[in-house]
Amino acid sequence: MEAASQQTSASPEGETQKLKIDKFADGGIVCLKFAGTVDEDFEGKKLAATVKAQTLILDLADIRKISSFGIREWVDFINSVDKNCEQVILLECAPKVVDQLNMVANFSGEKGRVFSFYAPYRCDYCDSDSSLLMQVDKDWEIIKSMKPPERPCGACGEPEYFDEDPTTYFSFIAGQDKFELDHEVAAFLSSKLNYTVSESARRLRVDKIIEGRSTYLKLAGDLDGSFPREKLAEGLEGTVIIDLAGMGKIDPAGAAEWRGFMRMISPTAESIYLLAVPPGFLEKLTKPEDLGPKAQVITFAMPYACEKCATTSSQVIDVEHHFDVLKFATPPEMKCKDCKSPTTCAATEGLLSHLPTLPKPSISPQTRKFIKEVQERKPEKKKTATTVAEAAAAGKGGGMGMMLGAAAIAAALALGGVFIYQYMNKKPELTENTAVTVGEKVREAGQARPAWITSDTFFSATCSPDGDGLSCVGVSSYVNNQEDARAEAKEAAIEALVNQVAVKIEDPAWQGVVQQIYGDARSQLLSGFDRLRSQALKGTYDRGEYDRSHRAVRKARTSVVSAFKATGGALFPTAATDEYWEEYREAAGSGTRFLVFIQYKVDGDLMKRLVERYDTVEKALGASVVTVFPGVAWRYPNVDQGAIIIGLDAGKLRDSGLGTEAIVQEIQERPVKDAQAFKRLLDDAVKLLTDRGGQLKLKLKTGDMGSGDYTIPFPKKAEPSHSTSHSGSHSRDHGPVRPPVPWQRKGGRDDPTQ
């Protein structure tokens, strides 16, 4: 986010030390970024009068000098803002600022606390100076001990030393208490201003409030692969309101987890409302396919710049109120919160172009009132999971300690319907990379590798053009069993071929539904293993995490191959085109390991027939379906047949609440092998039910919670539509107004009564 800036110094033109102040704001958080010289021209009280915030952040990294008169103005400024703010945080303090903190009383005010600062270092070998950014949350032991360690010089690699008297330099900061950033503040700094924030501050925090049939979730922190979608989705029903104001950065794994979470809660929630959606989240995770049939964006944030008071602030936009403007990809006109002057929207073109896709919300006045009441409540003091975890840790080593920990957690969850998840990731134990390195080569299949081998990156696969077809090559891990290595390489090559079939399918409906089902899961698993493999090759790595990732990818590839065999029929390539192997001594020990390469060549005609196999659409009862694509096994390893709904026209299926992405596995308890079987079985069943009446029974796979039975009533043909009544209410078309209960699971982990 770029900010407008103001220049407060009257120094002569061309003066390089002129003070510049940039101002950023978001809700109750304001950040002032100072650069240059603080002198008598700095009008501290005047600036303070423009600042009203719960949290004021002062970025002091680029302050080059503070004059004597400048100190006077600064103290006036800090004393004034103390009255208008609940807390003041000093961020990235330059050495000049640290000097003044140590010498000038009240330089940080009564509420000011230093979170991070630069420590000066000196290298005599290459005659260079540098600085190290230190934070009170992660470097507290060094700060308290006042013993900064030597570190290697970034230029020459020789040791460089701390270039100040540590007792003097650390005296003020060591005298304050250790603290961590609030999650909302950390998200503001990390996602909106791109500051480096410690992992603990970015860790996801979830607050939950339940009143009547409404559940209010407030999320704060980064969205990554640790997002607890299963725990969070468990038991959610009624009206679900999700406040996203505190969300920080989003990585691909986190985006995949969020989409899975939304799919999990859609069947049980009556309505889902998203509040205060940050710009990045809005652009990435609120497309129609992300929102599904029930989620609605009620409010979202966009940056606006005010030229008059040099402030870039986040404005909350109400979608329903501004819908007529948003549908034309136009930002609403907003006034500056401070000076009430007109502002200019600073959103990206990508964000603006996304605005017309937002549906117009439908939200009751009662729900709006509930949201307003919750947002205006003062936060309750509650026992956090960190404190509970510490209490449980105190009892480590005995069963009673574990019981007390569980009881404490249960008590914390019961307080006011509010709970907090906090994930304390254990530091991984690093081990030598013996699983991914080998010694010298002792044998090989031939004198030289064949030309079709273009990469020896283990446990990988690539496809490249071969005439009008493809050559897909899979590479195994270093395995001590040659047959197991061959199986790994085959699965990798065949899965890569499956992925190329998906790439060649151009139907937008197919891409928007089928690819959506499994694409994130595939990307997450493969990118996660790529990261761990890279770490392992560089030196040390977490062996347990590496093994888990390896197993997950191997299991998914095996499932994809199994689904390809089941759905591809005669099109499945049964025999490899070529293979090659190499044998190496183990890096440690006396055994050997094999590296195997497998090639599958597919001509243009076979590729064309594979694409036709999986993108051919069949229609019945308003549903457009395609045969289950093998790639779906990345997410659903046990699904190897069925038909995926990629479109729904008006009719009984859509009216009953069925949606796209559902996989139909059985019709009237008869297995659905593919799209053609879906059409045949459904047409036969509908014809019979239309004459006789009864129940259409479907077995569906929707989301990650397993399969379930779905029933749709068909009245007898001769029976008048108004003859059936429930409590005096009649349906216009098919009997009772009350819709059929779609999920009637029978026991097992998918039975909601279990």
- Count how many domains the chain has: 5
Q: What is the pLDDT of residues 137-184, one digit of tens each?
A: 888 999 999 999 888 888 888 889 999 999 899 999 999 988 888 877
Distance CA 642, CA 621 (A): 17
Q: Which two tokens stand for residue 537?
A: 């090759």
Orientation of helix 604-615 relative to helix 543-568, angle to 10°: 90
Tell me whether residue 525 is in a domain. yes
Q: Which two tokens stand for residue 151?
A: 């570190």
Q: What is the pLDDT of residues 7-40, one digit of tens each?
A: 443 344 444 468 888 888 787 888 999 989 999 8
Q: Burial of 360 by CB count in 10 Å (0-12 exposed, 13-18 middle, 19+ buried)?
A: exposed
The amino acid occupying position 444 is E
pLDDT in the model for residue 384: 37
Per DSSP, the three-state class of 106 is coil
**Which strand (E) or helix (H) includes residue 95?**
helix 95-103
Tell me: pLDDT of 659 over 60: yes
Sheet holding 578-586, edge to edge: 438-444, 578-586, 592-602, 469-475, 460-466
Instruction: For residue 737, name the pLDDT band (cuts at 50, 70, 90).
Output: very low
Cβ atoms within 10 Å of 66's Cβ, excluding its own: 22
**What is the DSSP annotation of 452-480?**
T-----SSEEEEEEETTEEEEEEE---BS
* Whether residue 443 is found in the same domain as residue 505: yes
Sign of the CA dihedral running 230, 231, 234, 238:
negative
Closest C-alpha to 306, from 4, 51, 24, 22: 4
Higher pLDDT, 649 or 379: 649
**Which strand (E) or helix (H) includes residue 620?**
strand 618-620
Residues 6+ apart with CB under 8 A from 69: 39, 40
Q: Which two tokens stand for residue 244?
A: 């996203």
Q: Which two tokens stand for residue 342?
A: 């007109």
Q: Which residue has the tokens 């216009």?
A: 732
* Whether residue 601 is found in the same domain as residue 722: no
Tell me whether residue 104 is in a domain. yes
Tell me whether residue 179 is in a domain. no
Q: Which two tokens stand for residue 404?
A: 């007390």
Instruction: For residue 213, name the pLDDT band (cuts at 50, 70, 90).
Output: confident
Tell me whether residue 337 is in a domain. yes
pLDDT in the model for residue 427: 38
Q: In sequence order, what are the beta bridge partners of 296?
A: 273
Distance CA 395, CA 274 (A): 40
Q: What is the pLDDT of residues 477-489, one digit of tens each?
A: 999 889 999 999 9
* Whether residue 441 is found in the same domain as residue 512: yes
The amino acid occupying position 344 is T
Tell me whether residue 529 is in a domain. yes
Q: In sequence order, what are the beta bridge partners of 161?
A: 122
Tell me: pLDDT of 685 over 60: yes
Tell me whether residue 183 is in a domain. no
**Which strand (E) or helix (H) includes residue 708?**
strand 707-714
Phi, psi of 165 (to 5 degrees): -75, 110
Q: What whole-number percentage of the chain has pLDDT above 90?
A: 42
Under 8 Å between Cβ of 60 and 89: no
pLDDT in the model for residue 589: 72
* Whether residue 167 is found in the same domain as residue 266: no
- Which domain-ending residue is among 609, 631, 654? 609
pLDDT in the model for residue 379: 56
Tell me: pLDDT of 750 over 70: no
Under 8 Å between Cβ of 98 and 65: no
Mean pLDDT (whole number) for 224-244: 88
pLDDT in the model for residue 433: 61
Tell me whether residue 28 is in a domain. yes
* Whether residue 396 is found in the same domain as residue 491: no
* Whether residue 413 is found in the same domain as residue 454: no
- Taking CA atoms, 204 is separated from 194, 298, 349, 406, 732, in Å, by 17, 22, 29, 21, 48
Strands 460-466 and 469-475: antiparallel
Tell me: pLDDT of 1 over 60: no
**What is the DSSP annotation of 623-679?**
EEEEEPPGGGGGT-TT--S-EEEEEE-SSHHHHTT--TT-EEEEETTEE--SHHHHH
Phi, psi of 675 (to 5 degrees): -65, -40
Mean pLDDT (whole number) for 197-209: 72
- Which domain-ending residue is among 609, 625, 657? 609
Distance CA 442, CA 429 (A): 32
Under 8 Å between Cβ of 32 and 58: yes
Tell me whether residue 424 is in a domain. no
- The torsion region of residue 150 among left (phi > 0), alpha (psi -120 to 50) and beta comes to beta
Would you report the helix, strand and coil content of the chain in percent, each value rounded to 5?
35, 30, 35
Q: What CATH number did the domain enclosing 127 receive?
A: 3.30.750.24
- Which domain-ending residue is among 174, 204, 239? 174
* Whether residue 169 is found in the same domain as residue 23: yes
Mean pLDDT (whole number) for 199-223: 82
Under 8 Å between Cβ of 37 and 68: no
Cβ atoms within 10 Å of 545's Cβ, excluding its own: 15
The amino acid occupying position 390 is E
Q: Which two tokens stand for residue 28?
A: 């109750």
Helices (H) and strands (E) in the chain, counts: 24, 32
* Whether residue 111 is found in the same domain as residue 81: yes
Q: What is the pLDDT of residues 301-334, one digit of tens each?
A: 888 888 877 777 788 999 999 999 999 999 999 9
* Whether residue 68 is found in the same domain as residue 11: yes
Per DSSP, the three-state class of 88 is strand
pLDDT in the model for residue 630: 96
The whole-chain average pLDDT of the chain stands at 82
Question: Which domain range does residue 299 map to?
Answer: 196-376
Sign of the CA dihedral running 607, 610, 615, 620:
positive
Tell me: pLDDT of 112 over 90: yes
* Whether residue 390 is found in the same domain as residue 444: no
Tell me: pLDDT of 729 over 50: no
Q: In sequence order, what are the beta bridge partners of 355?
A: none
Tell me: pLDDT of 95 over 90: yes
Tell me: pLDDT of 385 over 90: no
Q: What is the pLDDT of residues 237-280, one digit of tens each?
A: 899 999 998 887 888 788 888 998 998 999 889 999 999 998 88
Q: What CATH number did the domain enclosing 635 receive?
A: 2.30.42.10
- Taking CA atoms, 282 is separated from 189, 217, 242, 371, in Å, by 18, 17, 13, 20
* Whether residue 604 is found in the same domain as residue 668: no
Sign of the CA dihedral running 312, 23, 376, 244:
positive
* Whether residue 209 is found in the same domain as residue 344: yes
